[in-house]
C-alpha cells in the first residue's frame, strides 16, 4: 500500500496522520506551499481522500482526481462529502458509525438536563459569588417530570438516547421518514404534529439537503412557549434565525445546542441568552471515542486497498462485490 497515494485536505488527529503516513504515501494539502500545484502534480496518482469534514469534498473537487476510489470521512455525519455524486461515479464513501453512538447519546442527555434545569446558568451564578450574596438560585420553571421527548431521527444515536430516557421514565416519541421496526415508541410521520404533542424536541438527524431547516418557525411554534429544543445532530437542520426569534419573543422556552449552522460561529443573540445552553460541538469529543473514530478512518482505507471494500461504507456507496 506504500505506493497508494492518499490526500488529506485538512489537518486530522495525529494517530490518523501517523498511521496513514506509515501505510500509504500521504499528501497533506494544508501544509503545501502551493496546494493547486500539489494537486496538479499528483492528481493521477491519488486514489483516496481522508477528510475530517472541515473542507467540502464536493463533485468538482473529487473530479480533479481521475483515479479516486474512496473518500474516508471522520465522523458519522458526512454532509460535507457529496456522497450521491461519489456513488454515481463509482467512488466509495466511508464514515465512522457505531463507535461514537454511546458518547453522543451521553452528551445529549447531559445537554438535555443542563438545559431543562438551567445548570450552566446556575453554575455561573455560584462562580460569580451570587449564592453567598444573594441566596439560592431561582427555582427552574422546567423539569423533566411530566415531559415527553420527541426524537427527530431515531437511528443508532437516537435509539441510544431513547434507551437512556427509558431509564429516566421519560416518554419518547419519534419522527423520521419511516417507521422503525421493533421499537415501543410512538411514530409520527409529520414533524409538526409531533412537535405539537411533545414538550422537548431532540434532534439527532443528519445534515444535508433533505433535512435543511426542517425545524422551522412552524415546527418551533408547534412546540410552543413551554417547549425546549435540543440539537446534537447538525446545525443546518434548525432554522437558526427562526430559533433566535422564537426564543427572543418567548415563543419557545429554551434551547440546548451542541451544533450550529455556521460553526464555529455562534450568533451573538444566542450568546446573550443566559438560560440557553451552548456547547462547542463536543458530542463525540472524548479521547477514547475520537481515537476509535480515527482508527476506523484508517481501517476503512486499509480494508478497501486490501479487500476492495471499506468496513463501513455509507448508503449512497455502490456495493461492488
- Interface positions with ligand A2R (CB under 6 A): 76-77, 97, 104, 153-158, 176-178, 204-207, 210-211, 233-234
Catalytic residue among 179, 263, 274, 288: 263
Q: By C-beta, is 74 or 304 nearer to ligand A2R?
A: 74
Which candidate in 103, 234, 240, 261 is catalytic?
234
Of 319, 287, 301, the C-alpha closest to 96 is 301
CB of 298 to ligand A2R, least distance (A): 20
C-alpha 192: how far from its chain's center?
22
Query: Which residue, 81 or 114, has its beta carbon nearer to ligand A2R?
Result: 81
Q: Which residue is nearest to ligand A2R (CB)?
A: 155
CB of 159 to ligand A2R, least distance (A): 8
In the complex, least distance from residue 321 CB atom to ligand A2R, rounded to whole angstroms: 23
Decide whether 7 or 87 has the Cβ nearer to ligand A2R. 87
Who contacts 283 (Cβ-Cβ below 8 Å, separation ≥6)? 100, 103, 104, 107, 108, 232, 258, 259
What are the φ and ψ backbone dihedral angles of 53, each rounded to 5 degrees?
85, 5
Please indicate whether residue 263 is annotated as part of the active site.
yes
Please provide residue 73's backbone torsions phi and psi, each rounded to the nearest 5 degrees: -100, 135
CA distance 93 to 98: 16
Contact 14, 35 (CB under 8 A): no
Q: For 93-102, give one letter per residue: b (16+ CB within 10 A) or e.
A: bbbbbebbbb
Q: What's the min distance (Å) between Cβ of 194 and ligand A2R?
A: 11
Tell me whether residue 26 or residue 108 sits nearer to ligand A2R (CB atom): 108
Whichever of 227 and 233 has its CB closer to ligand A2R, that residue is 233
212 is catalytic: no
Residue 264, preceding peptide bond in cis (omega within 30° of 0):
yes
Angstrom distance (rounded) from CA 228 to CA 127 = 26
Q: How far is the CB of 162 from ligand A2R (least distance, A)?
A: 11
Among 164, 213, 275, 281, which one carries the catalytic annotation? 281
Phi-psi region at 308: left, alpha or beta (left = phi > 0; alpha = psi -120 to 50): left
**Is 275 a catalytic site residue?**
no
Residues 152 and 191: beta-carbon distance below 8 Å: yes
What residues are annotated to the active site? 234, 263, 281
Amino acid at each position: 500500500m506504500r505506493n497508494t497515494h492518499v490526500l488529506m485536505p485538512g489537518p486530522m488527529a495525529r494517530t490518523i496522520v501517523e498511521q496513514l503516513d506509515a501505510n500509504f504515501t500521504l499528501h497533506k494539502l494544508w501544509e503545501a506551499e502551493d496546494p493547486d500545484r500539489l494537486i496538479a502534480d499528483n492528481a493521477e496518482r491519488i486514489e483516496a481522500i481522508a477528510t475530517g469534514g472541515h473542507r467540502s469534498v464536493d463533485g468538482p473537487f473529487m473530479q480533479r482526481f481521475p483515479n479516486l476510489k474512496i473518500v474516508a470521512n471522520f465522523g458519522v455525519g458526512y454532509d460535507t462529502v457529496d456522497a450521491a455524486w461519489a456513488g454515481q461515479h463509482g467512488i466509495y464513501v466511508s464514515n465512522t458509525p457505531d463507535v461514537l453512538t454511546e458518547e453522543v447519546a451521553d452528551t445529549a442527555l447531559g445537554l438535555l438536563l443542563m438545559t431543562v434545569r438551567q445548570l450552566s446558568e446556575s453554575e455561573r451564578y455560584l462562580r460569580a459569588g451570587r449564592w453567598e450574596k444573594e441566596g439560592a438560585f431561582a427555582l427552574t420553571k422546567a423539569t423533566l417530570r411530566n415531559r415527553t421527548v420527541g426524537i427527530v431521527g431515531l437511528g443508532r444515536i437516537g435509539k441510544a438516547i431513547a434507551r437512556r430516557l427509558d431509564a429516566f421514565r421519560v416518554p419518547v416519541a419519534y419522527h423520521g421518514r419511516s417507521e422503525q421496526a421493533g421499537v415501543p415508541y410512538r411514530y409520527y410521520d409529520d414533524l409538526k404534529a409531533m412537535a405539537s404533542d411533545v414538550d422537548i424536541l431532540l434532534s439527532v438527524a443528519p445534515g444535508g439537503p433533505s433535512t435543511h431547516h426542517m425545524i422551522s418557525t412552524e415546527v418551533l411554534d408547534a412546540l410552543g412557549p413551554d417547549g425546549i429544543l435540543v440539537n446534537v445532530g447538525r446545525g443546518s437542520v434548525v432554522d437558526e434565525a427562526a430559533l433566535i426569534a422564537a426564543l427572543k419573543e418567548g415563543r419557545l422556552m429554551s434551547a440546548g445546542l451542541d451544533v450550529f449552522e455556521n460553526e464555529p460561529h455562534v450568533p451573538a443573540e444566542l450568546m446573550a441568552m443566559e438560560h440557553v445552553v451552548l456547547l462547542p460541538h463536543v458530542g463525540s469529543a472524548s479521547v477514547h471515542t475520537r481515537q476509535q473514530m480515527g482508527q476506523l478512518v484508517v481501517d476503512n482505507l486499509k480494508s478497501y486497498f486490501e479487500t476492495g471494500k471499506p468496513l463501513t461504507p455509507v448508503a449512497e456507496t455502490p456495493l461492488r462485490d
